[in-house]
Structure 1
Amino acid sequence: MKPWHPPSGLRRGLPFAVDDTWTPEQALAVMELLDDLRDRVWTHYGLAIQDLLREQRVTQESSDNFDTDLLF
């Protein structure tokens, strides 16, 4: 079996395991906490994150072919 790698690509750091004895209520509380954290991060960094994602997804070739006249 291949090791699982998180979407961040990080391979170092603190190990984290989800406890398989959580109740559904405990699992829901964790999900709500993560949703709240995502909302707060997005509120503060949303525009910067969008810019970064755009930079990461646009290749040099596609940016060379991009028609800036369409923006105005």
Structure 2
Amino acid sequence: MFQRIITFFERHSFGVCTYLGERFHISIAKIRLFFIYSSFLAVGFPIIFYFLAAFTLDIRGYVRKIRLKYWDI
């Protein structure tokens, strides 16, 4: 049961922790724990940062797809 929950969140996550882990060469699990613990200490501010980063990464990927389409013409 617990493994199914973890698999669900890994499939439907925004990829922010993965992006930060690859960018700064840090374990993804440590970044996830940082967001969880700091959200309790900072009363939700890291959650706002997480969603802003997810929104930024989503727009960034969308812009890259559009650029590739225009350069292929």
| TM-score calculated relative to the size of structure 1 | 0.33
Rg (Cα) greater in structure: 1
Per chain length, whose mean CA-contact separation is higher, i.e. which structure has more relative contact order (CA < 8 Å, sep 6+)? 2
Considering fraction of residues, name the structure with more helix: 2
TM-score by length of 2: 0.33
